[in-house]
Structure 1
């Protein structure tokens, strides 16, 4: 991934937070028919030491797990907030007119070998962990144990667990930080005025980067 230094994000706590809030990943692998992309929610396991580990499961009929090569890496992409940025939002438009459209986005690329976990107990634990993560803010959180045990056991037999120890990961936060402060402020104002979930999510990212730049300049 092309990532200028201004957009690079390397802080593990920021990368972890994005994966936890946007767990649906695009998993790219090289299979028997060339490049394959699967869309799979992945759980970032806690307390795994210095090497983060992603955990998930796929349908047993999915050839992904059968074609997995432990000596080759897969690419896992997590897509965060994104939003179109109009040139008319830049304060400098009135001064020079030298502005063009762009797109703000947040993304993580993670790499590592895909390992198969064909173990019902492991799969149940992984399902429970991911479910708990997604249900925790709901008024009545659902748990895997709420369904009949024989029913979930039957479903577990139809899937295979996968685990990806992350050998390297790279975050790209393209959120207007390459613009002069005047333009960043005006972009933030227009995003806030859109009153849409995607614009509000991007506004938060722009605000966070503005706060980071203030903190760095004051140190």
Structure 2
């Protein structure tokens, strides 16, 4: 992925935060017949350097019998940016539309896991993470044991050992500062979650870059 220096996050914490907030990844592999992609929510274990998820055993991904190279794509907030939101357009027409977004690409080695103990621990960790994020407390153990055992036989684990991570915060730095304020105000007024998150990202990115000037 091409990343201009001005769009490169300065610390890994930003990348981790985007993954935790947007865990649904597009996992891409080359399986011999060509490129194949699956959309799978992943749990990021920062200490172990792992991304973990699971798929149905009916998914062809579950039949892999060796490690393969993979690319996991995480999409953060994204939004169209209109020149009309920039006050300086009144005196300087050299402003064009753009599309802002934040993404993380994770390269690594993927293996399939069929061990039931691994799967159970993974489901507990994944459930705890997501239930906590919505303020609830459902646990895997709340499901009837016979039903849970039946469900475990229908899934396979996915474990990606991370080799490198790349982030891209394509948040156009609009000068003068009144343009930043204008764009952020318009995004917040749109009322969508993506636009509001992008407004916060632009504001934070602009503040950080201003401090580093």
TM-score range, shorter chain: over 0.9
Determine the structure 1 residue equivalent to 2:178.
182
Deviations 1:14-33 (A, max 9, x none): 11111111000000111143
Separation in 1, partners of 2:5, 2:136: 43
Separation in 1, partners of 2:117, 2:91: 64
Could you tell me which of 90, 97, 100 is aligned with 1:101? 97
> Given the superposition, is the C-alpha separation of residues 60 and 153 from structure 1 closer, same or farther in structure 2, using an over 3 Å criterion?
same
Determine the structure 1 residue equivalent to 2:5.
5
Structure 1 residue ranges without an equivalent (≥5) = none
The question of whether the paired residues in 2 share the 8 Å contact of 1:10 and 1:171 is answered with: no
Determine the structure 2 residue equivalent to 1:36.
36
Separation in 2, partners of 1:60, 1:184: 48
Deviations 1:19-73 (A, max 9, x none): 111000000111143101100000001422xxx2101111111111324652x42
Separation in 2, partners of 1:53, 1:192: 35
Q: How many residues align?
A: 213
TM-score, normalised on structure 1?
Answer: 0.90
| Aligned ranges 1:70-149 → 2 under 5 Å | 70=67, 72-149=68-145
Determine the structure 2 residue equivalent to 1:158.
154
Instruction: Establish whether residue 216 from structure 1 lines up as the match of residue 209 from structure 2.
Output: no
| Aligned ranges 1:19-58 → 2 under 5 Å | 19-48=19-48, 52-58=49-55
The question of whether the paired residues in 2 share the 8 Å contact of 1:10 and 1:170 is answered with: no
Separation in 1, partners of 2:108, 2:154: 25
Separation in 2, partners of 1:146, 1:10: 42
> Given the superposition, is the C-alpha separation of residues 37 and 178 from structure 1 closer, same or farther in structure 2, using an over 3 Å criterion?
farther
Structure 2 residue ranges without an equivalent (≥5) = none
Moved over 3 A (4+): 137-140
Could you tell me which of 153, 163, 170 is aligned with 2:166? 170
Separation in 1, partners of 2:133, 2:107: 30
Instruction: Establish whether residue 65 from structure 1 lines up as the match of residue 47 from structure 2.
Output: no
> Given the superposition, is the C-alpha separation of residues 38 and 195 from structure 1 closer, same or farther in structure 2, using an over 3 Å criterion?
same
Farther off after superposition, 29-38 or 174-183 = 174-183
> Given the superposition, is the C-alpha separation of residues 66 and 180 from structure 1 closer, same or farther in structure 2, using an over 3 Å criterion?
farther
Deviations 1:108-158 (A, max 9, x none): 000001112111110111111111111104343211111112211111111
